[in-house]
Structure 1
Amino acid sequence: MDVYVSSGIATPGIFVQPAGADLRSASNEEALKNIWEEVRACFGYAKPDGWRIQVHKQGEEIRLFGRSGKEWTAAYPSVTEMLRTRIKHEQAIIDTELVGFDQEGRHLSPDQLSNAFRYRCYLLDVLHLKQEDLTQRPIRERLSFMEKYLSSAYHDSLIFANYQWIGSFKGLLHLYQECRQKASRGFDGTIIKRPEARYFTNALKVKPEETVDAVVVGAYLDDEETVNKLLLAVPSHVRKTWVPIAQVAGKGASWNTIWSACQPYVVSQQPEYLEKVPHTPHVWVEAKVVVSVKMTRLKLGTRYLVHADAARECLLREDKGPREATSFEEAYQIAFSNGEVKEREF
């Protein structure tokens, strides 16, 4: 089925490019104070750790779109049927986060979503409801709209993200600590939105442990010709290039899944617009496959403009497209805030 992309007007059945989130790292209270100085009064909620899914309803038809616009309706029939049953409105576009759990009720990482025993959709935002495009309304009005017109849809499998009003630094600190305590229950950081923010205004995503979404652009082989490391890069929206950020090693089922996803994109030469690579890989990969990777910190360097130090725990993110990876500019600002060296021009 063809997927059409809206140019900014929310129309059911036409995918709307979702609002993004600017990454912030808050490993200590001082870093969180800097974030408070940036945003002041705001709404915030604990970010569920799953796939961002845009739900479109037209009559009895439900369609599920990932962040990149790829349609996932057929892949998740039980979720589709649940949404068809719970959402009573004839037409709607709703932003959700789809999270998976195993038979014991334990949260599954996003790369295991398709293997889940049961699912839960968190309602994050609303773009279209009651025959109205809501994307130009501020978030405070959209939240009221959801509460008024979607409360009857709430269910164990479809629940409202727990937005909280934050009017002070103490309030932000309390929410952030609460979000960290929820990490083992399937939450991943804190989302912050200014009260007047329209839908297409980027939110802030605040995380204690530094992770980035990067794109695989190369692979390194061991003596047995097995892939044991991947070369990762991030997109620079200013430079219009791909900027190498780290090598990451791995093994096991998740690692094999990542490399299987890369194989259709193996190419014979360096990908276009990829900047200088510190160590040339044995295999080049077109910049198509997105992974999430943990690290000790982001730091400015010489071999890498920004280096994901001690990169590890690489997971496939099928729900994201290459341009939705963490940007070089975001990574640079986080690295610069760590105080490694003086700021440079891009």
Structure 2
Amino acid sequence: KEAKYIARFVVGRLRLGVGDATVLEALALAKLGDRKLKVDLERAYNLCSDLGRVGEVASEGGREGIAAIHVQVGYPIRMALCERVAQPEDIIQKIGPCAVEPKLDGFRCQIHKDGEKVEIFSRNLERTTAMFPDIADAVRRQIRAKNAIFEGEALAGELLSFQTTIQRKRKHGIADHAKEFPLKLYGFDLLYVDGEDYTRRPYHERRRELIARIEHGPIIEPAEAEEVEDPKRLRIIFEGAIARGLEGIVAKRPDSPYTAGSRNFNWIKLKRSYKGELSDTVDLCLVGYFRGGGKRARFGIGAVLAAAYDATADVFKTICKVGTGFSDEEWVRLRERLDTIAVEHRPARVDSKMIPDVWVQPAFVITVAADEITRSPLHTCGSAQGIGYALRFPRVQGFLRDDKRAEDANTVQDIIELYELQKRVKLE
């Protein structure tokens, strides 16, 4: 057993069946003496993304030590997330006057600059600097600051899709792909600059300072933004974004701070919808796979079991079995990846009525489109009186979302809210 856990330490796969939220709650009780102080630990964790550091500080410095954890270049900040609404007019009703940015279908980056040293972190806080040398060089040339942390969306070309852009995220052939898919970085938020923590400052201040810190150049530029009060104008901007081939828009409350690691109505996204389809895709965590038959029998996999994340209980609850969207080559690659995290029994953090042929630890995320969300006794997502939520006619878009952690999957609450939005859209 010792050899097994030593090996897991080396490869970074402990498979303990315990999520970060559970660890933080345990730390609050064991080291701070009050489960309610988990909120303080979450704030510290969201700013430094280092669970070990938070645990060490809580043990040695208590609540005062935790309060002293602050934004620091080199420690990625957990990214702020958007809520959803059904119609453009709902945005003004929800938050009033707002700044509206285009929703770009790219690769979200958090950039850390410390003198000439630049680090680039992905959405799931993976260090990806070596994969994007062109962006790192541009940061050194175009950012007027000795030290800074800012966020942006990297796009291959002007409006190429995420699946094109994600081809730049690789460990081999980086130089060749940099030439084939040159990137632009659209900066949209400033979190820290030259000793000043900007996360608590309002959005309009953060954006103004970000624009001032970006020198004109070929790779980095500020994302577009327009201040809007009129719902009709907001709809025009939204429809214009769709006409340009964009995903939609993101509206931001001008007086809102940057809420690290949180999803709330400070930021609201509105994406295109198609008749007969769910108004948004969902990101789900894989928890198992089925071996399949017919043509796919030779792959040893024919469908996957996907789940939403219950952030309150720190478990993953199933919402669909999906077997559409992967190519033959992708099925082969997918099974190889899943077999590295396969386990004999249902993982402790998985709640499922469905039993796949092979269980896997929650680790990999996929993006799924569907016709609609329905109620179903087969799945546990949002289950009440034995009836949960399920996706009707699900299909996978792209391959694995390596830029997301398991806990970055859409939550059960997200699914419930999408279900309610779907009902509203049908009525309208």
TM-score, length basis structure 2 = 0.70
How far residue 297 of structure 1 moved from its aligned partner, in angstroms, is: 2.2
How far residue 179 of structure 1 moved from its aligned partner, in angstroms, is: 1.9
SS at match of 1:88: coil
Who is 2:167 aligned against?
Answer: 112
How far residue 100 of structure 1 moved from its aligned partner, in angstroms, is: 2.4
Report matched runs for 1:188-199 at 5 Å: 188-199=247-258
Gaps of 5+ in 2: 1-46, 55-68, 170-176, 274-279, 380-387
Q: Do residues 335 (structure 1) and 419 (structure 2) align? A: yes
Contact 2:107–2:162 under 8 Å retained in 1: no
Q: Which has the higher strand share?
A: 1
Who is 1:132 aligned against?
Answer: 196
Within 2, Cα distance between the matches of 1:255 and 1:163? 40
SS at match of 1:44: strand
Within 1, Cα distance between the matches of 2:334 and 2:255? 40
Within 1, Cα distance between the matches of 2:213 and 2:166? 33
How far residue 309 of structure 1 moved from its aligned partner, in angstroms, is: 1.8
Who is 1:49 aligned against?
Answer: 105
Q: Do residues 87 (structure 1) and 143 (structure 2) align? A: yes
Within 2, Cα distance between the matches of 1:108 and 1:333? 25
Report matched runs for 1:49-198 at 5 Å: 49-101=105-157, 106-109=160-163, 111-114=166-169, 117-150=181-214, 152=215, 154-183=216-245, 187-198=246-257
- Cα deviations across residues 62-120 of structure 1 (Å, max 9, x unaligned)? 00111222111122222222222222311010111122249xx8445254343562111
Larger radius of gyration: 2
Contact 2:111–2:150 under 8 Å retained in 1: yes
Within 1, Cα distance between the matches of 2:199 and 2:127? 21
SS at match of 2:237: helix
Contact 1:64–1:80 under 8 Å retained in 2: yes
Within 2, Cα distance between the matches of 1:334 and 1:51? 24
Q: Do residues 218 (structure 1) and 299 (structure 2) align? A: no
**Which one has more relative contact order, counting CA pairs under 8 Å at least 6 apart?**
1
Q: Do residues 245 (structure 1) and 319 (structure 2) align? A: yes
- Distance of aligned partners of 1:164 and 1:298 in 2 relative to their CA distance in 1, 3 Å threshold: farther
Deviating more after overlay: 203-212 vs 318-327: 203-212
Q: 1:21 aligns with which of 82, 86, 89?
A: 82
Report matched runs for 1:184-333 at 5 Å: 187-200=246-259, 202=264, 203-209=267-273, 210-223=280-293, 224=297, 226-250=300-324, 251-252=326-327, 253-277=329-353, 279-304=354-379, 305-315=388-398, 316-333=400-417
Within 2, Cα distance between the matches of 1:45 and 1:165? 9
- Cα deviations across residues 275-334 of structure 1 (Å, max 9, x unaligned)? 233x32111111000111111222333323221221113332111111111111011111
SS at match of 1:46: strand
Gaps of 5+ in 1: 341-346
- Cα deviations across residues 143-162 of structure 1 (Å, max 9, x unaligned)? 11112232x1x433212111
Give the number of equivalent residue pairs: 325
SS at match of 1:57: strand
Contact 1:93–1:127 under 8 Å retained in 2: yes
- Distance of aligned partners of 1:255 and 1:197 in 2 relative to their CA distance in 1, 3 Å threshold: farther
Contact 2:92–2:98 under 8 Å retained in 1: no
- Distance of aligned partners of 1:44 and 1:300 in 2 relative to their CA distance in 1, 3 Å threshold: farther
Output the amino acid matched with 1:239: A
Within 2, Cα distance between the matches of 1:320 and 1:294? 17
Contact 2:143–2:213 under 8 Å retained in 1: no
Contact 2:106–2:161 under 8 Å retained in 1: no
- Distance of aligned partners of 1:284 and 1:111 in 2 relative to their CA distance in 1, 3 Å threshold: farther
TM-score, length basis structure 1 = 0.86
How far residue 216 of structure 1 moved from its aligned partner, in angstroms, is: 0.6
Aligned sequence identity (%): 22
SS at match of 1:272: coil
